[in-house]
Chain A
Amino acid sequence: MSEPAREERSHRDGVRAVAPLAIAVVGFGVSYGVLARAAGMGVLAPIVMSMTTFAGSAQFAAASILDVGGTVAAAITAAVLLNARYGPIGVSVAPWLTGSAWSRFLHAQLTVDETWAVAAEGDGRFNPQVLLGAGVTLYAAWVAGTVLGVAFGDVIGDPSTWGLDAAFPALFLALLVPQLRDRRAKEAAILGAGIALVLTPFTPAGVPIIAAAGACLLGLLDRPTARTDEGSAT
């Protein structure tokens, strides 16, 4: 199923693809370190969390809940809801991870929004080498940023001053556009964005994204094999 037809991308392409974002990720790592210390998480715990959880939005949510005196249960629930999307994302990359159990585990842990998006080759295909190169790069940036933030405090100020928060939607948009090759993909994109926006004011963070993943069920409307117009759908 993996014919080497089109040009193969390698680890290096993965590094290159997320390099522009790595700077923004360092910036947010620093601000996470600062917030986590202010929230009374100490020095070591935020760094361990960046090394194990490796998911920015969930870590920010947990730290900010602890910061305002929220309960442990509330912090855990928010973080787990935010990371629930990695369930379906993991299923989508699984067929392309053909290595040993350890190799699959490693790739799985490095699969976050940005690395998953740059490793996508369209039509549901993923490149594990690009995933690994991008994953190691972003992991290093995130952990290094956290260490800087915890150790040296507010060295860069608020990352949004530098517009770094706009870097993420810009990257996702740049990666979305080539995915919109057929009508069904465009419908899924519009439905996904719509679900996420409608739910944002009414649900805890994380729920809009995982609900938007449900838009991929539009694929059930198609015949199982080629998405062509041979008529006679199910």
Chain B
Amino acid sequence: MSDAWIVVLVVGVVTIAIKALGPMLLGGKPLPERVTGVVALLAPALLAALVAVNTFGGDQELVLDARVPGLLAAAVAIKLKAPVLIVVVVAAVVTAGIRAVTG
């Protein structure tokens, strides 16, 4: 078997198992109250981390590039209560525009 297929099979099986673990073991049952309070904070914590890493993350380094003004423009659109579609498009257009100008 080629290296590529070994990676595809192992990563596929492990990822499917990681994703399935919670819903298969705990599915449909309410979590203990103590855990609920913790899990409720998972969304803000992870979403903020995803914003940070997707904006400033490079190859094991922090970088400042055209994504930053794109995100700032998106923040303004969110502040103005724009729909999510507009927010996403604004970020892409501003980032693409700056890249086109600066090469």
- Which residues of A are interface residues toward B (Cβ below 8 A)? 1, 17, 19-21, 24, 36, 39-42, 45-46, 48-49, 52-55, 58-59, 62, 66, 72, 75-76, 79-80, 83-95, 97-99, 101, 104-105, 107-109, 111, 113, 117, 120, 122-124, 160-177, 179-180, 184-186, 188-193, 195-197, 200-205, 208-209, 212-220, 222, 224-225, 227
* 9 smallest beta-carbon distances between A and B, as pairs: A90-B22, A124-B40, A163-B96, A192-B45, A170-B91, A212-B49, A163-B95, A166-B70, A52-B12
Decide if the interface of chain B is mainly helix, strand, loop or mixed: helix
> Contacts A66-B4, A104-B28, A213-B45; is A169 near B50 (CB within 8 Å)?
yes
| A20 and B85 form a contact (CB under 8 A) | yes
Decide if the interface of chain A is mainly helix, strand, loop or mixed: helix
- Which residues of B are interface residues toward A (Cβ below 8 A)? 2-8, 10-12, 14-16, 18-31, 33-34, 36-58, 60-62, 66-67, 70-71, 74-75, 78, 84-85, 87-97, 99
| A94 and B22 form a contact (CB under 8 A) | yes
Known interface pairs A49-B11, A91-B39, A97-B28; 8 further A-B residue pairs with C-beta atoms within 8 A, sorted by A's residue number: A59-B11, A101-B24, A124-B43, A173-B75, A192-B48, A209-B50, A213-B42, A219-B38
